[in-house]
Amino acid sequence: MADKASILKLTDVKYRWPGQTSFGISIPAFDLKVGETVLLLGESGSGKSTLLSLICGTVSADRGAISVSGTDIASLSAGQRDRFRAEQIGLIFQQFNLLPYASVLDNILLPLQFSPDRRKRVASVKEEAETLCQNLGLPDNVMNVRAGTLSVGQQQRVAAARALIGTPPLLIADEPTSALDAATQKTFLQLLFAQSRAHNTTLLMVSHDARLADQFDRVVQMSDITKTERENT
């Protein structure tokens, strides 16, 4: 059987934060295959957030190549990167980043406003949103409820539905279970994996919690793919 294609590939990437000329990170090589689930583990300050920013194109590497779905994001302008990110990447933030006074439906549909191509993959946006909510275990009457009135666990599932709608090929989750108890955490991950498998979506989840490791196809330590860069090294 042929090896699966890579959805994400980083090669010889180096980055230094502006104003931090004596410190940075180097990523010699890192890749994700289509459809796999990967847990990226690392302590605070290990560079996890920097790596996600590089993958999403919100910051640009000083050198090296970052390819998402076969496109080198360094070749895109800032505006093109924003549109490309909305099209190719679903994001689940640690703090969810929902619009608290907007309805659940409006929150879920938000990415489609920034990506016409992603919108075209949805036959009926309301029906897909309802299906995602149902599959993620949300109440039937949740669509018109203000997001800010939901429980933490429910808000997390709305954030997942927002990331999944329009089936982006790459899903990135940044510490999405840190505020949940163990039982809710396990349920959420099971639902997230089920949705990822249904659409062959690649999942990269960032965490510091090694107890999650046995639930993923692959576990990567941040220290294994990055090294600290200091002046003259």
The CATH superfamily label for domain 35-48+77-221 reads P-loop containing nucleotide triphosphate hydrolases (3.40.50.300)
Q: Residue 3's pLDDT band (boundaries 50, 70, 90)?
A: low
pLDDT at residue 231 greater than cutoff 80: no
Q: Residue 25's pLDDT band (boundaries 50, 70, 90)?
A: confident
Residue 222: which H helix or E strand, with range? helix 222-225
How many Å is the Cα radius of gyration of the chain? 18
pLDDT at residue 2 greater than cutoff 60: no
Return all residues near 110 (Cβ < 8 A) that are at least 6 apart.
99, 162
pLDDT at residue 227 greater than cutoff 80: no
Residues 24-44: what's their mean pLDDT?
Answer: 91
Note the pLDDT tens digit of each residue in 60-113. 999 999 999 999 998 999 999 999 999 999 999 888 899 999 999 999 999 998
Residues 169-197: what's their mean pLDDT?
Answer: 84
Helix, strand, or coil here: 202?
strand
CA angle 196, 222, 226 (to 5 degrees): 125
Which residues make beta-bridge pairs with 10?
Answer: 30, 66
Residues 191-206: what's their mean pLDDT?
Answer: 89
Structure tokens at 36: 């796999």
For a pLDDT cut of 90, what percent of the chain falls above it? 52
6-10, 172-176, 177-181: least confidently modelled range: 177-181
Residue 142's pLDDT is what? 94
pLDDT at residue 198 greater than cutoff 60: yes
Note the pLDDT tens digit of each residue in 134-175. 888 899 899 999 999 999 889 988 999 999 999 999 999 998
Mean pLDDT of the chain: 87
